[in-house]
Structure 1
Amino acid sequence: MALPLDSSAITHGIQLAVAPVFLLTAVSGMIGAVAGRLARIIDRARVVEDRARESSDPAFLARATGELAELRQRGRLANGCIALLTTCAFLIGLTIIVLFLGQTTAVRINVVAVGCFLLGVLCFLLALLCFLMETVMATRLLDFHLLR
């Protein structure tokens, strides 16, 4: 089945589909930032584990265990944030495809495009909350170390 292609419809479809691409730029920047934070969390956990293996001081071991628990929670938040951002990017990609197809073919699936876009934005907002929680935990951990 041949699809009639109208150049003005294709141009308009590309214009519509390009708008969500700007969100993809923000998502990629966030993934880079969170991945860097996750790498630092893992590095710190390795240092604390190595020091704990070498120590026999019960007070130090208790502090190390507490810090490792905090680092584990921060790692989970960072992983959740990356998962949400990846889901967001996938949904925005689907939005772009659906918008383009909706404009260039007779298939009307705009409801799908709206749903994908809104779910993508929701995932982005939830990722931002995870990021905020992780940074608050990191700051709290920093404050805890200053008291010791």
Structure 2
Amino acid sequence: MAFTAESLPKAIQLSVSSVFLLAGIGAMMNVLPGRLVRCIDRARTLKESSERLSEAESIEYGLLKKRMQLVTSSIELLASSTLAIATVVAMIFLSVILKLNLSQVVAPLFVAAMLMLMVSTINFLREIRLASRQLKDSLSIPVQSVQ
């Protein structure tokens, strides 16, 4: 079970796609907190503007809460996926260096990471749809003139 000079390049070669995947997840992780902060700020503004929300404000507040849940869930799934992928990369290195067959652990872990990434992306798309609906609804409300 000796480590050879050929082992390291092989391990790197096997883990490159996973590392690129981590970069893509990082890009998504950069977008989501900004969306969450905007929802939180708007919800705070609604709550602070009056003690009792109008019907339209209550609907908007409900949509904001749902959007916050979707973004938070998406962030949690991305973080979990990142941990799973990092574990896959570590196991690939261990497998090559120690000459162990860890494929029965690596394959399901990678599939789990992909499933988490897919669900996270679905949540992200659902949040975008809600935000678009919210914008559309706010633009269709007639603006009352101030006299």
Q: TM-score, normalised by structure 1?
A: 0.90
Matches within 5 A, 1:1-148: 3-53=1-51, 61-148=54-141
CA contact (8 A) 1:49 1:64 kept: no
Question: Residue by residue, what CA displacement relative to the aligned partner does 1:57-107 show, whole Å, maximum 9, x if unpaired?
Answer: xxx622221111110000000000001100110110011011111111132
Provide the identity percentage.
27
The answer for unaligned runs of 5 or more in structure 1 is none
- Distance in 2 (CA, whole Å) between partners of 1:28 and 1:111 is 27
Contact kept? 1:13, 1:99, Cα under 8 Å:
yes
Whole-angstrom CA distance in 2 between matches of 1:143 and 1:69? 16
When the two structures are superposed, what TM-score results if normalisation uses the length of structure 2? Answer: 0.90
One-letter identity of the residue aligned with 2:27: G
The code of the aligned residue for 2:132 comes to: T
Write the distance in 2 (CA, Å) between the matches of 1:13 and 1:104: 8
Aligned equivalents of 1:102, 1:95: Cα separation in 2: 10
Contact 1:52–1:64 (CA<8 Å) still a contact in 2? no
Question: Which residue pairs with 2:144 in the alignment?
Answer: none
**Residues in 1 aligned to 2:49 and 2:137: alpha-carbon distance in whole angstroms:** 18
Q: CA RMSD, aligned part only?
A: 1.3
In 1, Cα distance between the equivalents of 2:93 and 2:16?
Answer: 9
5+ residue gaps in structure 2? 142-147
Q: Across the two proteins, how many residue pairs are aligned to each other?
A: 141
